[in-house]
Amino acid sequence: MNAATDFLPASGLLAQLDLLLIEHAGAITRLRLNRPAKRNAINEALIRQLHTALLNLPASTRALVISGEGEHFCAGLDLSDLSERSVAEGVLHSRGWHVVMDALQFCSVPVVVALHGAVVGGGLELAAAAHIRVADETAYFGLPEGQRGIFVGGGGSARIPRLAGVACMTDMMLTGRVLDAQEGERRGLAQYVVPAGQAVAKAIELAARIAQNAPLSNFAVTQALPRIADLPQADGLFMESLMAAIAQGDEVAKQRLQDFLQKRSPKVLKS
């Protein structure tokens, strides 16, 4: 699939979301944050539009790719949009972000993010909610909230330590430490690092591979797996048994198993 030419602009409701650029190609939907002059910093309008897009993906979508327009993925919360809030208003603002990030983590299809330039603050929170993260060599990860007198509010304290560890996140927030792409990969903030300018192409390649999986299998990985990981082991294993039985009872799974047994499906290859 050619990342530059195969995608066609979205229509209908998704075409009306001016802070997002949304395109489709086959089973893949591509969504770009579209505030390049602001380094794709997230304001109230953008977070609402992102939520709308996640809830209204075309029925044909089997995988979603998210990237940023311009030189950066996302520089986090747009601080110019941050007015003085009461404690109650601050809680509601944070909870609103949680709703959107939950919609991303538990999206109806797997989500791959292509990261370049700034992946900072709320941008890192957004990336952490996705299922696969591809960074190019220009990407850098930061959590500057500590230097700005604020605290993460978009789900970062729950998700980022699961990727990089509490100690790493503590260091980043207390000292302002910034991780480059290679260290971000070592810490678990990205699963792939590619040359500059190639993150989107790699993300689309992975999304195309994911889209070929049985939809119920993808759903089990993105919906059940993170919940199982949060359960006590005995409860998690019981849920695993239920999910395994549901998945293998699916007609698509039965056909694919027969294809494998009859040597009609390709062998597992190294990526």
- Number of C-beta neighbours around residue 38 at 10 A: 18
Q: Determine the Cα–Cα distance for residues 241 and 44; give it in Å rounded to an integer.
A: 41
Instruction: Kindly name the residue from 125, 183, 185, 205 that is annotated as catalytic.
Output: 125
Pairing of β 118-120 and β 111-115? unpaired
Residues whose CB is less than 8 angstroms from the CB of residue 54 and which lie 6 or more positions away in sequence, other chains included: 100, 103, 104, 107
Which has the closest alpha carbon to 58: 33, 34, 26, 32?
Answer: 26
**CB-side neighbour CA atoms (13 Å) of 209:** 11
- Number of C-beta neighbours around residue 266 at 10 A: 8
Instruction: Kindly name the residue from 69, 71, 145, 240 that is annotated as catalytic.
Output: 145
DSSP for 102-167 reads: HHHHT-SS-EEEEE-SEEETHHHHHHHHSSEEEEETT-EEE-GGGGGT----SSHHHHHHHHH-HH
Is 205 one of the annotated active-site residues of the chain?
A: no
Could you tell me the two tokens for 104? 């991303």
Q: Which residues are catalytic?
A: 125, 145
